C-alpha cells in the first residue's frame, strides 16, 4: 500500500475513533529518509531511538512497495533484542489517547512485539504497561500470557494496530483493535503506570528470528 494512502487512512481512522478534535503527540514515519540509513532521531512529532542488538534497524522498502518503512531484522538467536522506541514530543499527562501503527510481517518471521511505556523511561531501561506479541500462529498474545490470545493478522501484507488508551478513568483501560486485513478486538485493564504513557516500542526478542516493517506510528491525545 502507498505510504501516503496509509498515512491518510490512519489519520481518518484516528479522527473516527476519537470522535472529536485531538492533538498529535507522536508521528514517526520514514518516507523522507534514505534507504539503508538508520531511522532519524528527530521525527515529524517526537523522537525515535533504535538498538541494533544482534541485527539492524534501517529504513527500507517492504516487499513489493516503494514506500519507506523502518525494517527491524533479528537474524540470530539467542542474541540481544533489536528494536525501535518512539517517544512523544513531551509528557502530556492524563487523558484519552489513540495509537495507530502500520505493520508488515513476512512469512517465517518469529514473534513481533509492540509495547507501551512511560515517557520517563529510556531505551535501555523502561518498564511497560501493555505488551502485545504478534505470534507465529498469526494471533496476538497479551502480556506474555500464552492463555490470553485474540484475533488474527495476515502475513506479507500491511495491517493496522489501533490502541485506545484511557487514563482519565480508574483503573486505566485500553481497547486494542486489529484492522486492514487483520481482525479482532480486546479490552484490557491497565496498571497505574499507564498514567505516565509517553512511548511506543516495537522489537524482536532474543529467542526469535526474522525481519518485519513498521511505519506511521501515530499517537493523538483528545483535546479537553
Tell whether the model's pLDDT for residue 38 goes beyond 60. yes
Q: What is the pLDDT of residue 220?
A: 96
Per-residue pLDDT tens digits for 172-222:
999 999 999 999 999 999 999 999 999 999 999 988 999 999 999 999 999
Confidence (pLDDT) at 4: 43
Is residue 165 over pLDDT 90? yes
In the chain, the N- to C-terminal Cα span, in Å, equals: 34
pLDDT above 60 (res 19): no
Please report where in the chains the cell 529504513 appears, as a residue: 59
Bigger pLDDT: 29 vs 1:
29
Domain span holding position 123:
3-222
* 19 dihedral zone (left: phi>0; alpha: psi -120 to 50; beta): left
Place of cell 501484507: 157
> How many independent structural domains does the chain possess?
1
CATH of the domain at 86: 2.60.120.560
Handedness of CA 213, 100, 181, 147 (dihedral sign): positive
pLDDT tier at 96, thresholds 50, 70, 90:
very high
pTM of the model: 0.90
Instruction: State the residue for C-alpha cell 525481519.
Output: 211
Share of the chain above pLDDT 70, in %: 91
Amino acid at each position: 500500500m502507498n505510504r501516503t494512502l496509509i498515512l491518510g487512512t490512519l489519520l481518518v481512522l484516528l479522527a473516527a475513533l476519537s470522535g472529536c478534535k485531538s492533538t498529535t503527540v507522536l508521528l514517526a514515519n520514514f518516507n523522507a529518509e534514505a534507504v539503508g540509513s538508520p531511522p532519524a532521531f528527530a521525527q515529524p512529532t517526537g523522537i525515535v531511538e533504535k538498538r541494533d542488538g544482534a541485527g539492524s534497524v534501517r529504513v527500507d522498502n517492504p516487499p513489493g512497495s516503494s514506500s519507506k518503512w523502518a525494517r527491524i531484522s533479528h537474524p540470530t538467536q539467542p542474541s540481544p533484542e533489536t528494536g525501535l522506541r518512539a517517544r512523544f514530543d513531551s509528557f502530556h499527562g492524563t487523558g484519552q489517547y489513540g495509537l495507530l501503527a502500520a505493520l508488515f510481517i513476512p512469512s517465517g518471521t518469529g514473534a513481533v512485539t509492540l509495547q507501551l511505556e512511560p515517557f520517563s523511561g529510556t531505551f535501555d531501561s523502561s518498564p511497560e504497561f501493555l505488551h502485545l506479541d504478534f505470534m507465529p500462529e498469526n494471533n496476538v498474545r497479551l502480556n506474555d500470557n500464552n492463555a490470553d490470545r485474540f484475533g488474527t493478522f495476515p502475513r506479507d501484507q500491511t495491517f493496522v494496530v489501533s490502541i485506545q488508551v484511557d487514563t482519565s478513568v480508574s483503573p486505566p483501560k485500553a481497547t486494542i483493535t486489529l484492522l486492514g486485513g487483520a481482525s479482532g478486538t480486546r479490552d484490557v485493564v491497565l496498571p497505574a503506570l499507564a498514567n505516565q504513557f509517553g512511548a511506543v516500542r516495537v522489537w524482536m526478542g532474543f529467542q526469535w528470528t526474522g525481519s518485519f516493517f513498521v511505519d506511521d506510528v501515530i499517537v493523538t491525545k483528545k483535546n479537553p
